[in-house]
Amino acid sequence: MRRPDRQPFLAARGRVTRAVRAWFDAQGLTEVETAALQVSPGNEAHLHAFATQALTTAGEARPMYLHTSPEFAAKKLLASGETAIFTLAKVWRNRERGPLHHPEFTMLEWYRAGAAYEVLMDDCGALLRLAAEAAGSTALTWRGVAADPFAEPERVTVAEAFDRYAGVDLFAGDLAAEARAAGVRVAADDGWADVFSRVIVEKVEPNLGHGRPTILCEYPVSEAALARPKPADPRVAERFELYACGVELANCFGELTDAAEQRRRFEIEMAEKLRLYGETYPLDEDFLAALALMPPASGGALGFDRLVMLATGAPRIEQVLWTPVA
């Protein structure tokens, strides 16, 4: 059965896919394929995975998960000697469905050993430009908001964005009080991370990427579980997110390679997940061991389907998927 309403979007998706692969190839990055089945799907409190099990020949069951990101596997490849890699990986996230969310989607991830995380800011700008060119568009659009993909992205720190859009001092002694004064609802049992997230979602994100893309950088260390602290200010991490038209497109890090610190952060995340959702995911011990061998690197994860959506003006993520989940 033909899909006349989606065919132009799908044709553009193919062009963008080919352009992305050609660009990374010209940059000297190797395309890799990572296994979707993992012992851990990721260890961030608010990520929800699809669980399954692997059976031995004797019928014994071993818990497994579909990965929420190829990150753990990609970093193991860096630890094994790869220095510049990318992947267009199918990933799965549960409890996610909406105009911008789909339980199965495509993640573009790339890693550069030895590169400063600012290099990935330049990569993100280049990816926006080539996606627009491949789609034959001059603007990124979403729900009536437009951004120029050919304009240099604006760089704004999280602290600056909190002050600019919410009138909130990010590093105030009482973030909850600051948020309430800005009109953000704060529940009695909300932790610091809950308040931070609510200010981001309600006050900051809707204002980002209007007219031109925005790079929101220097997240608090507690909100960057896989990123290294920024040397000039240890309160914040080398993490940034790319926005266009109020839509989050990419999440990028100067990668944390301290295995003990990574374990500590994962344990904090899993304790929070247990508190909120009554479940946890195991730690990937091979991944933690690999961090001791991994070179300094920077890496990025970009929602490929969302990129195609904004480049083509598609109103829903299903419009750019060949076979959406029913």
Two tokens at 159?
A: 């602290």
Q: What is the pLDDT of residues 20-44, one digit of tens each?
A: 999 999 999 999 999 999 999 999 9
Two tokens at 281?
A: 């995911």
Q: What is the pLDDT of residue 1?
A: 46
Residue 278: left if φ>0, alpha if ψ -120 to 50, beta else—which one? left
Look up tokens 């409890």; give the residue.
95
Two tokens at 305?
A: 């389907």
Strands 50-55 and 37-38: unpaired
Residue 278 has pLDDT above 50, yes or no: yes
Q: What is the pLDDT of residue 5?
A: 85
Distance CA 139, CA 308 (A): 12
* 191/122: higher pLDDT: 122
Q: How confident is the model at residue 241 (pLDDT cuts 50, 70, 90)?
A: very high
Q: What is the pLDDT of residues 4-13, one digit of tens each?
A: 789 999 999 9
Q: How far is CA 305 from CA 25, 87, 113, 201, 322, in A?
A: 20, 14, 26, 21, 11
Residue 203 has pLDDT above 90, yes or no: yes
Q: How far is CA 318 from CA 75, 207, 302, in A?
A: 30, 25, 17
Q: What is the pLDDT of residues 135-154, one digit of tens each?
A: 999 999 999 999 999 999 99
Q: What is the pLDDT of residue 3?
A: 73
Three-class secondary structure of residue 89 per DSSP: strand
Q: What is the pLDDT of residue 2?
A: 59
Q: What is the mean pLDDT of the chain?
A: 96
CATH number of the structural domain 7-53+63-144+256-320 = 3.30.930.10
User: DSSP for 101-129?
Assistant: B-SEEEEEEEEEET--HHHHHHHHHHHHH
Q: What is the pLDDT of residues 62-79, one digit of tens each?
A: 999 999 999 999 999 999
Q: What is the pLDDT of residue 172?
A: 79
Q: How confident is the model at residue 205 (pLDDT cuts 50, 70, 90)?
A: very high
Look up tokens 């920077």; give the residue.
298
Two tokens at 124?
A: 């993100």
Three-class secondary structure of residue 96 per DSSP: coil
Encode 225-260: b = buried (16+ Cβ within 10 Å), e = exposed.
Answer: bbbbbbeeeeebbbbbbbbbbbbbbbbbbbbbbebe
Are the C-beta atoms of residues 37 and 90 closer than 8 Å to each other?
Answer: no
Going by C-alpha positions, the residue among 55, 31, 69, 23 that lies closest to residue 281 is: 69
* pTM for the structure as a whole: 0.95
